[in-house]
Structure 1
């Protein structure tokens, strides 16, 4: 009674497993929603529906009966309005996309008043190679609905949520119609974003966006550089957060290169530099106040980013913000330390270290020392020491 849905065949090279299950008992049917049918009728031309939205409607209905096969459709016919023939209102045929699966399907709608769709399966029981995965393309209205979800969710998050909603037996069958891959979701998200661009090229589009947002509450995009490519982001709100937090708390400057992939093997990697302050609410995530995306990893590039941010802080709060941070922590990169020394301490790194030495040896009065403390992150020091010991 508790038979496994798998059978296996032994070959000379490897063991191949198959997912097996029987087809639903006849009769099978589902009902097409009236609004979906009316929308399809609006896109009817002759005896066919234009576009591919009809495949979404029919596959959704079939899946409510038999969710284990991923169907592709071969043909369909629609009865024209006013036709006096006794032919069905709608018919279509499809087949399972799995290579070893013989299942075929035929859907027929006989009466437009009920929109009852009779489903007939044929060909034999379900037989899927366990190493195969199949998904229906995300098309028409389904693509638009997915794009709307991706406005507030990352492709990876949406993919994981979709996988969690699939039942274990459907997972075993290899059918992934309800869980498009992350690459497909990324393409959908990208194509939808390009529709709102003011220019086909990305950088001119960003420049136009800066002009459009200037002076508004959504004025986050500050600078766009063409050569080398770079983008700087902060807002009046983040400037305010930085000014209030940095006087009494720590400021972090970090960089990561694992977020944005390179276009080609020859192109330089993109790094994301972020200036971060701690959240005043205990246990909450840190607050990024400025972000810099660039492929130019030089002291001059990072210094320009920090000085541009400092300029806007001083423009908002005056000269009292020139030496505002009490302590700045970075990972020990010479580029970051040189840039912090120049932008926030207004001196070179060697001179700054000399002043720190005089301070800790008691040769400089603490009352008159007003420079921010540049602190190298201890976890990075331990990581580097561990790597050195392994050599």
Structure 2
């Protein structure tokens, strides 16, 4: 087992508490203690400016009451390093409120961290709120990587990750902050309220919410327009993935995301999703309902001329998807559709009068299935 070893900073050590931070802490003082845990963020930030290699937890603190005539320090606290083999302890003392100079005394011995051990301070109080604001514009994984890049190599070697919360912690922070903006504690009633709120606005994307089985459909007038224009001459894709949303419990059915996608008219650009369906019901009836609901809105916007579109649809070969596409876009059963395709390719049906969309199975999925079959 390897250990990270380093000596403690030479005494005397000190840092200065910012006046605005101290005034905010004073506002939450009750008796001889600060309420909440924001004081731990302030003190640990100061200690880290002197000694960034240990991750400290705090045991106790005391604050001098306003107007007290005693000669006791304004503030004192004690802490210890969270690493199992590290003997380092710390004591912080603020003697004068006019300067807010915090004297730091380390004791116990030199730093000794197991190289396989990692520790992080909890993200609390104002630090949690600041992190939540960053997560409004960044993904948890992206924020984690940015935080890791800012940590110096020696701190990385020490195993201290106070400045880089894990992605799971960041996800929890992001999730808890989003739930605060809900109009209802339960997800589905909250989504239904959101539909009513967005109806008729430019952000009207959420179209349908199903309670049982659970499902959500999303598209907008803009994506309907993109679909109508692109599918007349180009390919439409229908795909499904189950790797985006995790199951609530081991017994609950997995959530799948079904998506209608068209190619971007700009070469080299990402495809454009025009409709999305999130559900735990993976049946032909469920997917057909999604496609027909989308097709209904297209026809409502552009009239019956949209019935014969798209020109070609590609899917992965799933029977559920093929049956649903056949019913929603070709207005016939899959067996009957395949029979019509057979008559067309054998020359028994004139191409001039054939006006059904072409259902095409994705070649990459065919090759993947063939490869798996050959390995058996």
TM-score, normalization by structure 2? 0.97
Q: Per-residue deviation at 1:154?
A: 2.3
How big is the shift at 1:367? Answer: 2.0
Structure 1 residue 324: deviation in Å?
1.8
Displacement of 1:100:
0.9
Q: Decide which moves more: 338-347 or 281-290.
A: 281-290
Q: Residue by residue, what CA displacement relative to the aligned partner does 1:294-316 show, whole Å, maximum 9, x if unpaired?
A: 11111110000000011111111
- Cα distance between partner residues in 1 of 2:266 and 2:73: 65
3-state SS, counterpart of residue 2 of structure 2: strand
- 3-state SS of the aligned residue for 1:338? helix
| Alignment partners' CA distance in 2, 1:322 and 1:36 | 64
Q: CA deviation at 1:159?
A: 1.9
Distance 2:150 2:186 in 1: 38
Quick one: distance in 2 between partners of 1:280 and 1:119?
63
How big is the shift at 1:288?
1.0
Query: Which residues in structure 2 correspond to 1:1-391 (within 5 Å)?
Result: 16-391=1-376
Q: Secondary structure at the match of 1:375?
A: strand
Cα distance in 1 for partners of 2:13, 2:302 equals 72
Distance 1:119 1:280 in 2: 63
**Can you give the 5+ residue segments of structure 2 that lack an aligned partner in the other structure?**
none
Aligned-pair CA distance for 1:79? 2.1
Distance 1:314 1:382 in 2: 36
Root mean square deviation, CA, Å:
1.3
Instruction: State the shift of 1:358 in Å.
Output: 1.9
Q: In structure 2, how many angstroms separate the alpha carbons of the residues matched to 1:38 and 1:364?
A: 85
Query: Structure 1 length normalisation: TM-score?
Result: 0.93
CA positional deviation for 1:361 = 2.1
Which whole-Å deviations, capped at 9, do the CAs of 1:26-46 have from their partners, x for residues lacking one?
222222222211211111122
Deviation at 1:362, TM superposition (A): 2.2
- Of the structure 1 ranges 317-326 and 296-305, higher mean CA displacement relative to structure 2 is found in 317-326
Structure 1 segments unaligned to the other structure (5+ residues) = 1-15
Residue 136 of structure 1 deviates from its aligned partner by: 0.6
SS in 1 for 2:253: coil
Of 323-332 and 182-191, more deviation after overlay is shown by: 182-191
Q: CA deviation at 1:365?
A: 2.1
How much does 1:170 deviate? 1.4
Q: Which moved more, 1:301-310 or 1:343-352?
A: 343-352
Whole-Å Cα distance in 1 between the matches of residues 268 and 92 of structure 2? 56
Q: Distance in 1 between matches of 2:137 and 2:262?
A: 24
Aligned residue pairs total: 376
Deviation at 1:171, TM superposition (A): 1.6
Q: In structure 2, what is the Cα distance between the partners aligned to 1:41 and 1:282?
A: 60
